[in-house]
Chains A and B, each alone.
Chain A
Amino acid sequence: MSRIATRFAELRAANRAGLVTFVTAGDPTLELSLNIVCGLPAAGADVIEIGMPFTDPMADGPAIQAAGLRALAAGTTMVKTLALVRAFRAGDNATPIVLMGYLNPVLAYGPDRFAADAAEAGVDGLILVDLPPEEEDELAPALAKNGLSLVRLATPTTDAARLPTVVGGAQGFVYYVAVAGVTGTKSAAIGSIESAVTRIKAATDLPVAVGFGIRDAASAAAIARVADAAVVGSAIVDVIANQLDADDLPAQVHGFVAELARGVRGARQG
């Protein structure tokens, strides 16, 4: 069983939702980024998403755009992103790692080479924002051959006619983007999220993680009551942006993640 499937099975057994955290590789530097990522599981992250920085992140809001620019300015490349995962894996062989970003840097690296090197480094899955199922052919076979899950995204605009295309052949988990918008802007009403999750679950057996608009422990807890996992990105990246000069930057990030984890873990009790 893959690390992703194992982790969601464990969560189901414990009757709790998972916390999925996002940070960008190399933000603000490769060294600090590695410290941050390595401490995430102990802080309570169940799945780790690592952003692959890109110059033109057309689906991201200001926070994650800025994180990508910091990472690129710090010299982050795909090789270094994969090295970061490899270094993390040396100390943690259980927490799933999902790389997230845009297609072009993956194409430039080469689909076959990328899939082989990512699997070897210890990556479990991939989320590519600008790769809809209709355009997967170029990449999907290489990922499948190397045991990597290509995680699909569903959104509020994914209607009943389109949902089967989105979840058909989906792997790992389905990422429900709760807001029609860019990352880090607004929140959706919990009622609409709950009905969307129900709709998706009727169409797939995979776990459903919900992201966009989760800013704190309370909003993470609200998601944890209705979905299999809550994804937090911009709010964590904001901690990095606000504490760039702090000596204890990784600890500050881990402190915030621990708060989120308490929210998620306590959500279904009482």
Chain B
Amino acid sequence: MAAPTLNTFRAGPDERGHFGPYGGRYVAETLMPLILEVEKAYEAAKRDPSFQAEFDHLARDYIGRPSPLYLAERLTEKFGGAKVYFKRDELNHTGAHKINNCLGQVLLARRMGKKRVIAETGAGQHGVATATVCALFGLQCTIYMGEVDVERQKPNVFRMKLLGAEVVPVTSGSRTLKDAMNEALRAWVSQVDDTFYVIGTVAGPHPYPAMVRDFQSVIGVEAREQMLEREGRLPDTLVACIGGGSNAMGLFHPFLDDSTVAMVAVEAGGHGVETGQHAASLAGGKPGVLHGNKTYLLQDDDGQITEAHSISAGLDYPGIGPEHAWLHDIGRVQYVHATDQEALTAFQLCAKLEGIIPALEPAHALAHVTKLAPTLPKDHILLMNMCGRGDKDVFAVAEHLGVKL
């Protein structure tokens, strides 16, 4: 595409929720008035200092923000190139960046007087984070989760139940994350009066992609400040994994207008993009409409959505947030992919050299860092978002490594 001539990359979306040709509000008419109501309430909340103050207070005392900026010295030494920093969002309460967004949305739901919260979940991280914040505020919480994921993520299912949430196994379609999202939308259509839908990533109908991005931007805002304090300058390269894209957008967005900062997002390459068994919507998909927004989707020639595959349940989704689709087309962010095997290798390397067991999602980001860092000079600062911890993945990884627990 032609070189962008914009003054800013941070102004989107437009008032109809479009990022270039992507985004929008492709929902059933029953939901349209609700979506408009969420937008109106969010716009008002954004302008209300007391809303931001409540978010900041709980981000600090409940989530544990700011998350540390950490120089990974042994990995840096091993790679022999760029200085590698981690933004440690895996140290958040519930173990991932997901809770930043859940806190924001549940505060908004309370502000709107909603009594009941629903959410979809894949691996269970967003479900656990939503159930956690609902427990904190005593809100009724129902989580929709594909039957296949319920089976492969049993510990998270139990966590959600401990937190007082109802977990509904979804038996339609492929019984994974995309079907959980279909079912959550169906549930929302059926309970329009008192229900708030907490979407877990920067996707869905407007205002969700922008709203989730705003709540996750706390990651990039902190990182920017921490890096300036630590190094006296901005990082040169940001790296994050990407499924729907909320952790990547949260890190990138505050830096989008800093032309010296390069950004790389790493999609889940599964068994390899050439095999067709992957979750790389940008590398292997094309634009279409699903779940309320226009974006790149894995689909066949007839517009039927195809199944995604990734070792990481959190990246196992056939779409990507619309703002990423736009940033991809204009070339501001580079999108690459890492395979299951590469992520598994990076997962083990990080555990051994840094004493940090990463989630399989950021292990994809680290897999790319493994390739990129050695090619860069020693004064190059690379910042990777360590967006989740790997406790949830130890059983799956053991199985992949042929270890019986």
Contacts and interface: CB of A to CB of B under 8 A. Distances in A.
A107 B293 CA distance: 13
Interface string A94-134: 00000000111111110000000000000000000111101
Contact of B299 (A108, A135, A153, A180): A108
Contacts of B288: 104, 107-108
B253 interface: no
A155 B305 contact: no
Contacts of B27: 130, 132
Contacts of B297: 104
Contacts of B304: 54-55, 72, 105
Nearest to B301: A108
Interface in A166-189: 166, 177, 180-182, 185
A153 to B, nearest CB: 4
B374 interface: no
Given A65-B172, A104-B297, A177 B29 contact: yes
A58 to B, nearest CB: 4
Interface residues on B, range: 35 or more
A266 interface: no
A31 to B, nearest CB: 19
Interface residues on A, range: 35 or more
Interface in B1-42: 16, 24-34, 36
Name the prevailing secondary structure of the A interface residues. loop
Given A55-B304, A108-B303, A129 B290 contact: no
A158 interface: yes
Contacts of A59: 28, 30, 185-186, 189
A132 B186 contact: no
A83 to B, nearest CB: 14
A255 interface: no
Pick the most buried of B29, B181, B192, B292: most chain A CB atoms within 10 A of its CB: B29
B28 A58 contact: yes
Given A56-B182, A105-B304, A109-B303, A130 B26 contact: yes
B52 interface: no
Interface in A55-73: 55-62, 65, 69, 72
Nearest to B174: A55
B164 to A, nearest CB: 26
Contacts of A248: none
Nearest to B303: A108
Contacts of A159: 33
Contacts of A166: 29
Given A104-B289, A181-B189, A182-B186, A131 B26 contact: yes
Nearest to B184: A58
3 pairs of A and B residues whose beta carbons are closest in the complex:
A108-B303, A105-B303, A181-B190
Given A109-B303, A152-B29, 19 more contacts: A54-B303, A54-B304, A56-B291, A57-B182, A58-B181, A59-B30, A59-B185, A78-B303, A103-B26, A105-B302, A132-B25, A134-B16, A134-B25, A135-B26, A153-B29, A157-B192, A159-B33, A162-B32, A180-B190
22 contacts: A56-B179, A56-B305, A62-B172, A69-B173, A103-B26, A104-B297, A104-B299, A104-B305, A105-B302, A105-B304, A132-B27, A132-B29, A134-B24, A134-B25, A135-B25, A135-B26, A154-B29, A155-B30, A157-B192, A162-B32, A182-B189, A185-B190
Interface of B: 16, 24-34, 36, 172-173, 178-179, 181-182, 185-186, 189-190, 192, 287-292, 297, 299, 301-305
